[in-house]
Amino acid sequence: MTTSRLYGIIAEFDDPTPLVDAARVMHDRGYRRMEAYSPYPIHQLDEYIEPGPKLPPLVLAGGLLGTATAWAMQFYIAVIDYPTNIGGRPLNSWPSFIVIMFELTILFAALTTFFGVLVLCGFPRPHHPVFEAPRFRDATNNRFFLCVEAEDPQFDREAVADLFSELEPLEVTELAAE
Amino acid sequence: MTVEEKQLTSTRRPEPDTGPAVIASGQTFAQVTEQISSTPLLRRRIPGLWFISFALGLIFTFVLLYSATYLLFRGVGILGIEIPVAWAYFITDFVWWIGIGHAGTLISAFLLLLNQSWRSSINRFAEAMTIFAVMCAGMFPLLHLGRPWLFYWILPYPNTMTIQPQFRSPLVWDVFAVSTYFTVSLVFWYLGMIPDLATLRDQAKNKFVAKIYGILAWGWRGASRHWRLHETASLLLAGLATPLVLSVHTVVSFDFTIAIVPGWHSTIFPPYFVAGAIYSGFAMVLVLALPIRHVFHLENLLTERHINNCAKLMLATGLILAYTYAIEPFTAWYSGNEYEMYMVHNRAFGPYAWAFWGVILCNVVVPQLLWFHRFRVRTKPLFAISMVVLYGMWLERYMIIVGSLHRDYLPSAWTNFIHTVWDNAVTFGSIGLFITLFALFVRFLPMISMYEVRELLPFSRPGGGSEK
């Protein structure tokens, strides 16, 4: 189709079952650099498509940073920067600091989760080679796509296209790299 | 074991087959997309009731703007507050709105952790309700400050006055709790909406509209690695939001319990407030869901089961609340404290007895109708009961706040609270703002989570049968 550099070969399916079958076949043949596109999460794909980076450790770190920030801020203000005698209580009356420590733990962890997803997904990414696939708009509606990327060490244009054609896709397309 | 069987058993979310279906059968992916995206993309007529609610909401928003401007211009003296009743309508409104928000978080976070798939069609607009309710709530303490333009003095920041907030005060805790709650709810709501915004981007025929939704969707393309991150993030946020929601109303109740006013200084307040919050929140969910379901013809997605479950949860939280109403006089009597005992007597037979008996009627007596199935599933009676509960919950906070403050320790300070037109104007104005924001949400954003509804369709799981 095109002589320019390839991003990969993408196949379109109209049902999740052939998509998962295709992912399994490709995985069995040793392809690892591939990605499925679906209008909702399909957990069966997890077996065949290698996971990306992990979010939970980041979120834990964010939460702990929130706890530490809240304690440090309150300790600094209440003990060092602006000590006030409230009913003779100790300046470092830490039990009353717990509430804000809790709140900032949640706040920092939640913001880390949100921005973590955006960063780990590589967003914002308004343009991507897969958007060029025909009918890819329906990947957010009722179509399912599997793309084997050209960066895969054993990628071979004909072999991948042949494998796909055995899996009864609606269409197989070669995608140009950006 | 064939491949299909293996895949079926590895499905992570089994569908417990109890009661009526979560959504009506015989729907396809494309139909779900079309039905939900047709309103934001203007592919079908916006119902007349939407215009009526939007217009009404807008009128009351202008009432709010006018009265808030006048309040800023003249000061809080235009309100009915007076020492000792220095807190009245505005703090009642604040607690009421914050409480309403809580059911949204409960539906989106708590029910997600419990794997309750029926939440999928109502979580989006319940979360929207939370955000708009917290926006309305946040306005009141600010307007209630003597000099609202100096609100930032409550935040810790280096300043030329070399003063700092006092972290032993629950009012400072409240600032952190409410702003955290708003931020986390917003992030949770928006993150959940990104895949659906991508659907709107891809479905939009108009280039400009596609561009707007495209920017909001960040370039979402439904990649399985992204879905995995998205699901992990949803679970993490749900796990964070669940204790948060309990903490927020707990902190709000600390505003009262840490003070030594009789009727406030009580250890039962945190659970009491949280139960009341969720109770009023479910009432608001129903007040919004019932008309929307009818007007936008969403009966196939918002089924009898959703309505029934919400009504049951409302009944359950209402019973918890009734229990705390019963415990309050007991604690007062058992403590042997004469101020507490006077407060209980005065609450039931004093100048604000009407509020107390109103609360009992609206929050305890009327909702008992929900024991009957027909009151839980029929639109009109359920809508009426929910409205009664919403009013009852407002009255409850009024009873707690004004009912306790007007009889201080010193009889020489006793006065009754008389509200002014401005108290009412801002209160009704905030309801107008809420309706306006909600109407805009329904018009411009996917009000039901499309990708989660797709997951509920029988052929959504590989090996689960074909769409055709």
- In the predicted model, is pLDDT for residue B466 greater than 80? no
Instruction: Say which residues have a Cβ less than 8 Å from residue B105's Cβ, sequence separation at least 6.
Output: B127, B130, B181, B185, B188, B241, B242, B244, B245
In SS3 terms, B185-241 reads as HHHHHHHHHHHHHHHHHHHCCCHHHHHHHHHHHCCCCCEHHHHHHHHHHHHHHHHHH
A99, A108, A127: which to substitute to probe chain B, counting the most B Cβ within 10 Å?
A: A99
More confident residue, B20 or A127: A127
Residue A8 near chain B (CB below 8 Å): no
**pLDDT computed for residue B186 by the predictor:** 95
Which residues from A are below 8 Å from B230, CB to CB? 41, 117
B367, HSE (Cβ side, Cα atoms, 13 Å): 31
Contact A74, A100 (CB under 8 A): yes
Residue A138 near chain B (CB below 8 Å): yes
Nearest Cβ partner for B167 among A41, A100, A114: A100
Instruction: Determine how β-strand A171-176 pairs with β-strand A34-37.
Output: unpaired
Q: Name which of B16, B229, B28, B13 is nearest B113 in CA terms.
A: B13
The predicted model gives B393-417 an average pLDDT of: 91
Which residues from A are below 8 Å from B12, CB to CB? 43
**pLDDT computed for residue B467 by the predictor:** 47
Residue A111 near chain B (CB below 8 Å): yes
Which residues from B are below 8 Å from A35, CB to CB? 223-225
**pLDDT computed for residue B42 by the predictor:** 86
- Shortest distance, CA A102 to any CA of chain B (angstroms): 9
Delineate the domains of chain B, giving CATH numbers in brackets.
Answer: 42-451 (1.20.1630.10)
In SS3 terms, chain A reads as CCCCCEEEEEEEECCHHHHHHHHHHHHHCCCCCEEEECCCCCHHHHHCCCCCCCCHHHHHHHHHHHHHHHHHHHHHHHHHHCCCCCCCCCCCCHHHHHHHHHHHHHHHHHHHHHHHHHHHCCCCCCCCHHHHCCCHHHHHCCCEEEEEECCCCCCCHHHHHHHHHHCCCCEEEEEECC
Nearest Cβ partner for A16 among B170, B227, B460: B460
Closest chain B residue to the Cα of A90, Cα to Cα? B168
- In the predicted model, is pLDDT for residue B20 greater than 60? no
Q: Name which of B231, B248, B140, B116 is nearest B184 in CA terms.
A: B248
Fold classified for A6-53+129-176 = Alpha-Beta Plaits (3.30.70)
Question: What are the tens digits of pLDDT across the range B429-454?
Answer: 999 999 999 999 999 999 999 999 99
**pLDDT computed for residue B74 by the predictor:** 93
Q: Name which of A17, A14, A42, A99 is nearest B168 in CA terms.
A: A99
Are B180 and A104 inside 8 Å of each other by CB? yes
Written as six digits, the tokens of B81 are: 């507050």
The predicted model gives B202-213 an average pLDDT of: 93
The model's confidence at residue B319, banded by pLDDT at 50, 70 and 90, is very high
A141, A168, A175: which to substitute to probe chain B, counting the most B Cβ within 10 Å?
A: A141
| Mean pLDDT, chain B, whole residue set | 89
Nearest Cβ partner for B224 among A14, A49, A96: A49
- Shortest distance, CA B380 to any CA of chain A (angstroms): 35
Question: What are the tens digits of pLDDT across the range B26-66?
Answer: 788 888 888 888 888 888 888 999 999 999 999 999 999 99
Residue A118 near chain B (CB below 8 Å): yes
- In the predicted model, is pLDDT for residue B3 greater than 90? no
**How many CB atoms sit inside 10 A of residue B150's CB?**
9
The predicted model gives B325-333 an average pLDDT of: 92
Residue A170 near chain B (CB below 8 Å): no
- In the predicted model, is pLDDT for residue B224 greater than 60? yes
Which residues from A are below 8 Å from B167, CB to CB? 74, 77-78, 96-97, 100
Question: What are the tens digits of pLDDT across the range A49-102?
Answer: 988 889 999 999 999 999 999 999 999 999 999 998 888 889 999 999 999 999
Are B223 and A73 inside 8 Å of each other by CB? no
Question: What are the tens digits of pLDDT across the range B344-355?
Answer: 999 999 999 999
The predicted model gives B132-148 an average pLDDT of: 92
Q: Where are the alpha helices (DSSP H) in B114-168?
A: 123-144
**pLDDT computed for residue B1 by the predictor:** 40
Are A35 and B166 inside 8 Å of each other by CB? no
Domain(s) of CATH 3.30.70: residues in chain A? 6-53+129-176
Are A106 and B251 inside 8 Å of each other by CB? no
Tokens 């978080």 locate to: B105
Q: Enumerate residues 42 to 81 of chain A having a beta carbon within 8 A of any beta carbon in chain B.
A: 42-47, 49, 51-52, 55-56, 59, 63, 73-74, 77-78, 81
**pLDDT computed for residue B8 by the predictor:** 41
The predicted model gives B393-401 an average pLDDT of: 95
Query: DSSP secondary-structure letter at B341?
Result: H
- When mean pLDDT is compared across A66-80, B49-63, B110-124, B191-205, the lowest value belongs to B110-124
The predicted model gives B223-229 an average pLDDT of: 93
Percent of chain B with pLDDT over 90: 66
The model's confidence at residue A177, banded by pLDDT at 50, 70 and 90, is confident
**pLDDT computed for residue B16 by the predictor:** 44
- Strand, helix or coil at B126? helix
**pLDDT computed for residue B465 by the predictor:** 54
- Strand, helix or coil at B294? helix
Nearest Cβ partner for B454 among A39, A97, A137: A39
Integer Cα distance of A85 and A89 in angstroms = 7
- In the predicted model, is pLDDT for residue B156 greater than 50? yes
- In the predicted model, is pLDDT for residue A174 greater than 80? yes
